[in-house]
Structure 1
Amino acid sequence: MQHVDTLIYAGWIIPVVPENVVYEQHALAIQDGKIVGLLPNSEAVSRFSGRITHRLPSHVLIPGLINTHTHAAMSLLRGIADDLPLQQWLQTRIWPVEQACITPEFVADGTRLAVAEMLRSGVTCFNDMYFFPDVAGDVAAEVGIRATIGLIVLDFPTAWANQASEYLSKAKDVYKKFQHHPLIRTAMAPHAPYTVSDNALQEASELAEQFNIPLHIHVHETIEEVEAAEKEFGERPISRLHRLGLINSRLIAVHATQLQNDEIKLFAREGVKVAHCPESNLKLASGFCPVPKLSRVNIVTALGTDGAASNNDLDVLGEMRTAALLAKGLSRDASCVPAAEALRMATLNGAKALGIDHITGSLEIGKSADITALDLNHLESLPIYNILSQLVYAIGRDKVSDVWVAGRHLLKARVLTSIDIHELQAKTWLWRERIVKILQKQAKEAAQSSE
């Protein structure tokens, strides 16, 4: 008998690889943070002995969910600028508040709040884009969640840097800081074509190639963005990125709601990945990512929530359901994006986009034990005929009971094991008070200037 660190007996396991397969009454064996066995419960009893054993007969185990695009620290700005179109949301509400309150402390507390929410929602890995990425990486490492930290680049000054050259210099430092970390990776993250110059975009692309990391950028989020680019540059943003050498297999194109057929063909040919954020795009009325068309040409499409200031949650299970339903509605084809594909978008496709599918994204022997367990023994989840369909169309994040990252039990029976939620709640209320004062001051100044 083989002794292992952890043995989990479950009612169902959906490994994602092979696709559209469900194992009933199976177990996972974990040793040194990796999966070393996936086998029927009856065989696991005689083959493995766990130092810790979990018996979850009413649970389904799935690969940990991957949030392929978010701005974690913006959780502290949840709900401050709702029901506004993107440019008004950014320019009149979000950017002024950020300018007044962003500090390393803001990023640390906001990221910890986001990580707590994501873990309680079954997320084991997130791809971030925000200021003070070194601080966000530190928080993720401390908590024990897997993360790809975006090395943000902009042309204009913020609390993090003053100009593109400083952003790029700091990007190098943050990359080196986490270069050998087992859980934290980095990606170049120029914000968007409309906020980053040609030279800075090219330098960011060169660093991504030099460091062998992804490049993560908002692109074609709205029709207004595309029209403004055509007016300023005489070409669409994707055409400009292609001319500058950014359209390649490293690229994670976020949102991509305004894609022409030739651009889809270009993405497919060059191996571009797409981070689809359906609920944020719907809420900001930005448009629709053409997932059915992307799927037909095998473009890797993953799911992201965007930040909590525009969604307003970090619920990848919810995004999975919305993505599946939206694709069906857009294509007028009820078979489009079936449940198994939606789950792959929320797991393995995210891992592929981040270049870590050899580590995570599916429950396979040799991969990291990044696992989410959902308890289905609730009235809202019963009866169960097709577990995959139930997972995508009927189960909410409140059914997430347990989460492991690299074998470490970070959520145990809905209790976070590496975050003090009482301290976090207290800090969040303090931030609410500070931000309300900022909003009140800005409103007063705006009223005075209009008199």
Structure 2
Amino acid sequence: MSDTPPVRYRNTVLYDHDGVKVMGDVLLHADGSWTESNGDEDVVQDIDGSKRLITRSFQNWHTHLAMQLNARDFSDGYPLHRWLNEAIFPTEARITPDYVRIGSRSAAAEMIRTGSTFSADMYFFPSVTGEVLTDAGLRGLVGGPVSDAALPSHPDAGSALNELDGLLASNNEEDLVQYAIATHSVYLCNEETLRRASELAEKRKGRLHIHVSETRKEIADCHAKTGLYPVEYLDSIDFFQPGTICAHASWVKKNEIRMLKKHEAT
């Protein structure tokens, strides 16, 4: 345990990591552990916990942290693809590392305020977001975006994958932040790009993160182009790696759910 004195919560309710419910006085230690309190320990703070619930922190498994600055109350009510093409993508063409740093710091402050300690992020200039989360003491799986279209951070998919090769090579399980490969979607990444991303994830033992089956338009367009729905298509090209993060997955069939389970995707 840390040498820092603990915080005492009196008359509170605590759920530990195993889901065990504890009621009464507890000590929260700097390393995240807890013990029961007998009331006479040296503590850094004594708090009335009668109206509090102590439990594990929240985790957010799909974020665009820096969009804290450019997405809220921004062309609300547009269908997704109109929102992307008419509002978001033109704005993002001017994104800079400094913008990402400011937006990520704002998002990190909100995470701390609301009890979130982990983010699986997908946005430009991932090393900047990684630095912000580390400085804030937050954990993150930070995905660098990959797209066939030019991005503010890279002119093409090959350039993005080259940077991610280096970032994934630097992953250390002891660090607060790990890096991942964030292929945007089946409509912004062609088959070659998706295959290359999957091969890199396998090579570096990294995670993949992708938007999948978010709207009816996406699945209809994918089926018209390939004869398959998005999860079926990704399965057919051997895209999935264990632990692939499939964001949204709002329009999937039962056989696609079975495919995701087979690949240990989430």
TM-score normalised according to structure 2 size: 0.90
- State the distance in 2 between where 1:134 and 1:3 align: 30
- 2:128 aligns with 135
- 2:14 aligns with 13
Q: Which amino acid aligns with 2:87?
A: R
- 2:185 aligns with 192
Is 1:63 aligned to 2:64, yes or no?
Answer: no
- State the distance in 1 between where 2:126 and 2:96 align: 11
State the Cα distance separating 1:170 from its structure 2 match: 0.9
- State the distance in 2 between where 1:150 and 1:14 align: 31
- State the distance in 1 between where 2:227 and 2:265 align: 23
Deviation readout 1:104-125 (Å, 9 max, x if unpaired): 1110111111111121111111
Higher relative contact order (CA 8 A, sep 6+): 1
Go from structure 1 to structure 2 and tell me whether the alpha carbon gap of 1:150 and 1:6 turns closer, same or farther (over 3 Å shift). farther
SS of equivalent to 1:5: coil
- State the distance in 2 between where 1:249 and 1:112 align: 30
- State the distance in 2 between where 1:30 and 1:244 align: 48
| Equivalences, count | 262
2:95 maps to which of 89, 94, 102: 102
- Identical residues among aligned pairs (%): 29
Instruction: Tell me if the contact between 2:208 and 2:245 (Cα under 8 Å) persists in the aligned partners.
Output: yes
- 2:77 aligns with 83
- State the distance in 2 between where 1:98 and 1:190 align: 17
- State the distance in 2 between where 1:230 and 1:76 align: 34
- State the distance in 2 between where 1:265 and 1:172 align: 30
- 1:320 aligns with none
- State the distance in 2 between where 1:3 and 1:154 align: 45
Deviation readout 1:66-100 (Å, 9 max, x if unpaired): 1111101111112122111100000011101111x
Instruction: Tell me if the contact between 1:151 and 1:174 (Cα under 8 Å) persists in the aligned partners.
Output: no
Match runs of 1:44-443 below 5 Å: 45=39, 52-58=44-50, 59-77=52-70, 78-99=72-93, 101-177=94-170, 179=172, 182-273=175-266
SS of equivalent to 1:80: coil
- State the distance in 2 between where 1:271 and 1:116 align: 32
Aligned Cα root-mean-square deviation (Å): 2.1
Go from structure 1 to structure 2 and tell me whether the alpha carbon gap of 1:251 and 1:226 turns closer, same or farther (over 3 Å shift). same
- State the distance in 2 between where 1:57 and 1:199 align: 55
State the Cα distance separating 1:229 from its structure 2 match: 0.6
- 2:36 aligns with 40
Is there any run of 5+ residues in structure 1 with no aligned partner, and where?
274-451
Instruction: Tell me if the contact between 1:124 and 1:146 (Cα under 8 Å) persists in the aligned partners.
Output: yes
- State the distance in 1 between where 2:153 and 2:76 align: 26
State the Cα distance separating 1:57 from its structure 2 match: 2.4
Go from structure 1 to structure 2 and tell me whether the alpha carbon gap of 1:256 and 1:6 turns closer, same or farther (over 3 Å shift). farther
- State the distance in 1 between where 2:48 and 2:262 align: 44
Worse-matched range after superposition: 169-178 or 135-144: 169-178
Deviation readout 1:194-245 (Å, 9 max, x if unpaired): 1111121112112222222221110000111001011112211111110122
Instruction: Tell me if the contact between 1:6 and 1:29 (Cα under 8 Å) persists in the aligned partners.
Output: no
Go from structure 1 to structure 2 and tell me whether the alpha carbon gap of 1:3 and 1:142 turns closer, same or farther (over 3 Å shift). closer
Q: Which amino acid aligns with 2:54?
A: L
- State the distance in 2 between where 1:152 and 1:179 align: 20
Instruction: Tell me if the contact between 1:147 and 1:185 (Cα under 8 Å) persists in the aligned partners.
Output: yes
Instruction: Tell me if the contact between 1:141 and 1:183 (Cα under 8 Å) persists in the aligned partners.
Output: yes
SS of equivalent to 1:272: coil
- State the distance in 1 between where 2:168 and 2:80 align: 30
Runs of 4+ residues deviating >4 angstroms: none
Is there any run of 5+ residues in structure 2 with no aligned partner, and where?
none
Instruction: Tell me if the contact between 1:3 and 1:49 (Cα under 8 Å) persists in the aligned partners.
Output: no
TM-score normalised according to structure 1 size: 0.55
State the Cα distance separating 1:135 from its structure 2 match: 0.8
Deviation readout 1:388-433 (Å, 9 max, x if unpaired): xxxxxxxxxxxxxxxxxxxxxxxxxxxxxxxxxxxxxxxxxxxxxx
